[in-house]
Amino acid sequence: MTRLSVTELHCGFGEQTILKGVNLTLAQGEILALLGPSGCGKTTLLRAIAGLQPITSGQIVIKGSEVNGPDTFVTSDQRGVGLIFQDYALFPHLTVAQNVLFGVKLKGQQKADKLDEMLTLVKLQGLGERYPHELSGGQQQRVSIARSLAYEAEILLLDEPFSNIDPQVRHEMMLDIRQILKQRNISAVFVTHSKEEAFAFADTLALFKSGSIVQQGTPEQLYQTPKEAYVAEFLGPVNYLDINVLNETQLSSSLGVIDSNISLDKPVGEKGVLMLRPQNIEFISDKLGDAIVTQRRFLGSMCHYQLQYQQHIFELHSMQLQLVIGQKGHLRVKEHGLIIF
């Protein structure tokens, strides 16, 4: 079931257009990351979905009902969405319990049971009588999550919710919150500029560029088969290699013939550029080799190397931890990436 649908959405501030024909869908239980650099329109889209940002044109549909359109506007409090901000947005004069239950219309034992359920869910048992200033940043964000869940929002909208969390606990908290959303089959839209956060927390990514979504799909799809160089480079290091198409499954390059495990669907003789991730290249040590190790960074289970080959610099991720700066060898393509013409 589709929980959220955004169609040809345009909006901005004054004469400045921020969103330019944005289209996206969100399924029941899906966590979608809006990913991109600062100022590209991610938060503006989140605010538009919440009803906090006027739109110029387009349509927003939540759970089958139009909330924004040519003749429709549903106020924020009637949209069934919960907002979670990076600054937590808790009421400082209210206790944890009062913050969690703010807006909840239950009474008596039902209200008490709801509080116990929410505090247990976000691992804050016994902290109901504390005030926000008595909690850590991670605990405050858990209160914010609990408040949205107690309100029983149809969709959670999270605006860089982990950016103020101590890095030592950030990853654990992301996994905890993801598990809560999955257990409750809650749909969520998550704004971030960090690909590491997006990969760890989201099911799907929508990558922004200057107010438009250039590609939407799973993290694997965007990382392995980007539609353009911008997508490839935003999601990680990239090597580019000039190639010629030999036939349906082979390319020629300065590194030799490269075999493809899928049909290239390109005319024989056509020239192009092959995209290679650092793990797509192998270094074979040889004192007579024409590639040389120029940089080395230890990453734990692997090393990141920079290699000089002719006029090119290649990035390499390798389980070979013993390579040293100045070592010579040959480069071999293990598997090909995307051809960008």
Is residue 283 within 8 Å of 316, Cβ to Cβ?
yes
Q: pTM value?
A: 0.86
Under 8 Å CB-to-CB from 49, ≥6 apart: which residues?
Answer: 4, 6, 60, 62, 81, 155, 157, 189
pLDDT in tens, the chain (341 residues): 899 999 999 998 878 889 999 999 999 999 999 999 988 999 999 999 999 999 999 999 999 999 999 889 999 989 989 888 877 788 999 999 999 998 788 888 998 999 999 999 888 999 999 999 999 888 998 898 889 888 888 799 999 888 878 877 888 888 988 998 999 899 999 999 899 999 999 999 999 999 999 999 999 999 988 999 999 999 999 999 999 999 988 899 999 898 887 778 888 988 989 999 999 999 999 999 999 999 999 999 899 999 999 989 999 999 999 999 999 999 999 866 667 66
Domains and CATH numbers, the chain: 2-234 (3.40.50.300), 239-340 (2.40.50.140)
The count of other CB atoms within 10 Å of the CB of residue 10 is 16
